[in-house]
Amino acid sequence: MKISAPPDILKKIHALRQSIEADNHKYYVLDAPTVSDAQFDQKFRALQDIESQYPHLITPDSPTQRVGGIALDVFSVVRHRHAMLSLNNAFDEQAVRDFDRRTRESLEVETVTYAVEPKLDGAAISLIYEAGVLVQAATRGDGASGENVTENIRTVRVIPLRLSGKKIPDFLEVRGEIHMPKMDFIHLNERQEARGEKVFVNARNAAAGSLRQLDSKITAQRPLSFFAYSLAGLEGCVLPETHWEMINFLADLKIPVCPERDCVEGVEGLFAYYKRMSVAREALPYDMDGVVYKVNNLRQQSALGFVARAPRFALAHKFPAEEALTQVEEIMIQVGRTGALTPVARLKPVFVGGVTLTNATLHNEDEVHRKDVRAGDTVRVRRAGDVIPEVVAVVLENRPIGAAVFEMPQRCPICQSRVLRLENESAARCTGGLFCPAQLKGAVFHFASRRAMDIDGLGEKLISQLIDQKVIQNIADLYDLKVENVSHLERMAEKSAKNLVEAIEKSKKTTFARFIYALGIRNVGEATANDLAQHFAHLDALMASDEEKFQSVPEVGPTVATSLVEFFSETQHREIIHRLRQRGVHWQEGEAKATQSLPLAGLNFVLTGTLSRMTRFEAKEKISAAGGKMSGSVSKKTDYVVAGSNPGSKFEKAQKLGISVLDDVGLLKLLES
């Protein structure tokens, strides 16, 4: 039976919670406590006593709920409302100057005000508050979705469970970094060692590992901290005009923010801050691997927008990586998913930047020769950007007698296909693209992709299972799959297996251009595949061509011609293509069309915004089929910009340059004419 609480108890419980949270903020965030430990404990016990008498009054934002709850079996998945993006990195002054120049040119201003802050070495987190109460916390994950770590975050004392301030938002999403202060990390490792438990390599790993504990009681014992660095959602309050004001707004809500943040003018202001933080780095209580520059004005941030998985308005300027000496035991060759052969130095294990290194990239053949790295050499290694291990230089005086000069193999170490290095390319590549095991997953994924054979439901995880379990050994094997071959795989059942087999069957009817593109020939993209299909019309004619004939196709130069000849000269490639045709992959074959006779020949198009009558991909196909050329950016060479809703900066640039702008209806009329 629920015991009703008298008004004075409700008032007392509210006052205790407010007082305890204020004490926590002063102690953990401001490092300026105003009460003794005994006084704090007295208040905390008083609150516990009242809540034990009236358990129905316990709320998720009560300070007593920070101590850890029930252990979880697994974290649930949270899809982020807005993607948690990465930042582009700069490792030298020129990259920073280029960033500032691009920003000024895009905004058409002479100087830019930047908000600057340390780049903490921790784990990114998203916090959501509704009506001022913390309701969800999620890791970055893959950027689109992360793990629900709400119960663990409730144990982090610097993070308020309930916001306080003059104006509490109806909804607030905060992004920030969970980290572990340096001294706390040292003390944690001392305790771990004393108990005979695992000692953490660095504070970043300790913070990330603590955040992902299935038992929040363990997280509660770890000295985690937090700094907010951005606001991803706000309702019920007016959004500030600048990043600086936004961070101050969060601070007013008692959300921890980095005290070392600042605002500077222009690129010289950025360098001055970088230098200042480089000097202060060792004395600061937290680890940092660089500094972050952000355009301060939020309207300007919006105007600059994003590219790929990073904002155009921000940049991470990394500190120089740590270095160490070790010995190269062997130079191995790794074959990547695109067929690139990468020399890798197998090292005598060495501890660098908090991590034990056993391998380091040598990038490519030219780099090995430029640095003259040989097996047996003593080398200086570093973690480039504090992440990727690389060999910096050789200590020549320590070179053993008879150390052999490195030579790139002429045959792929995985499939024994010929190794080819095209002119003007730094990477040597295996030519067995459709059958080399190292490239197979990438080849199948590309073959099945939407712009290629468009096999719905055949994603990376399923492809990995099919290959790892040797269900398929090349792309032609896809067309031999039966329901019983795939229904036993993880996350598959008879219905999903049947849908996949039907999608594979449907993909047999395609176009010549799609088929050429699906083969994944090096340097042959969609536009080139379309040009080849229009020029040759028949697959046999395409396969029988030489470099001279290929170069007679508009826009096909020596590099693409060489790629085509090398691809079709592989006997196993021709065999796989033969098997694909035998299994029913087909398209409408006809006479070759002279590109110059097509209605949109010689015209350059750019797409922007959301079209209403067709998808952007359909529009691209229609334009290409009519001889038009597609481009990703607007220039004086652009003839038409096809704009849908929310067109963005491309539309504005087209208007400035006086370029004709069409909607999709106008595009259809142009195609008909």
- For the record, the structure tokens of 73 come out as 């079996």
Q: What are phi and psi of 455, to 5 degrees?
A: -95, 100
- For the record, the structure tokens of 482 come out as 């039966």
The DSSP line for 144-211 is SEEEB-HHHHTT-TTS-SB--SSS--SEEEEEEEEE--HHHHHHHHHHHHHTT-PPPSSHHHHHHHHH
| β-bridge partners, 379 | 326, 394
Give the C-alpha separation, 421 to 438, whole Å.
18
From residue 301, alpha-carbon distances to 106, 115, 293, 306, 615 in Å are 11, 11, 12, 9, 28
Of the candidates 120, 113, 118, the one whose C-alpha atom is nearest the C-alpha of residue 263 is 113
Other beta carbons less than 10 A from residue 570's beta carbon: 17
Name the amino acid, one letter, at 460. Answer: E
Grouping H, G, I as helix, E, B as strand and the rest as coil, residue 390 is strand
Residue with tokens 């597609």: 630
**Ramachandran class of 353: left when φ > 0, alpha when ψ lies in -120 to 50, beta otherwise:** left
Q: What are phi and psi of 260, to 5 degrees?
A: -90, 15
598 burial class (0-12, 13-18, 19+ CB within 10 angstroms)? middle
**216, containing H or E segment:** helix 216-220
From residue 578, alpha-carbon distances to 475, 540, 543, 585 in Å are 12, 11, 11, 10
- Is residue 482 part of the annotated active site? The answer reads no
Residue from 2, 12, 26, 119 carrying the catalytic annotation: 119
CB < 8 Å & 24+ apart, contacts of 235-242: 235/169, 235/170, 235/171, 235/172, 236/168, 236/169, 236/170, 236/171, 237/167, 237/169, 237/170, 239/298, 240/298, 241/297, 241/298, 241/299, 242/113, 242/115, 242/296, 242/297, 242/298
Give the C-alpha separation, 379 to 391, whole Å.
7
In SS3 terms, 249-298 reads as HHHHCCCCECCCCEEEEHHHHHHHHHHHHHHHHHHCCCCEEEEEEEECEH
Give the C-alpha separation, 318 to 582, whole Å.
54
Buried b (16+ CB within 10 A) or exposed e, 229-259: bbbbebeeeeebebbbebbebbbebbbbbbe
Give the C-alpha separation, 122 to 354, whole Å.
13
**In the chain, what's the furthest Cα-to-Cα distance?**
93
From residue 599, alpha-carbon distances to 40, 254, 591, 619, 626 in Å are 80, 64, 17, 15, 6
Residue with tokens 């691997």: 289
The DSSP line for 219-254 is HHTS--EEEEEEEEEEESSPPPSBHHHHHHHHHHTT
From residue 92, alpha-carbon distances to 96, 280, 319, 370, 522 in Å are 7, 19, 9, 21, 32
| β-bridge partners, 117 | 292
Dihedral sign, Cα of residue 430, residue 434, residue 438, residue 441? positive
Give the C-alpha separation, 587 to 247, whole Å.
58
Give the C-alpha separation, 574 to 450, whole Å.
24
Query: Which residues are known catalytic residues?
Result: 119
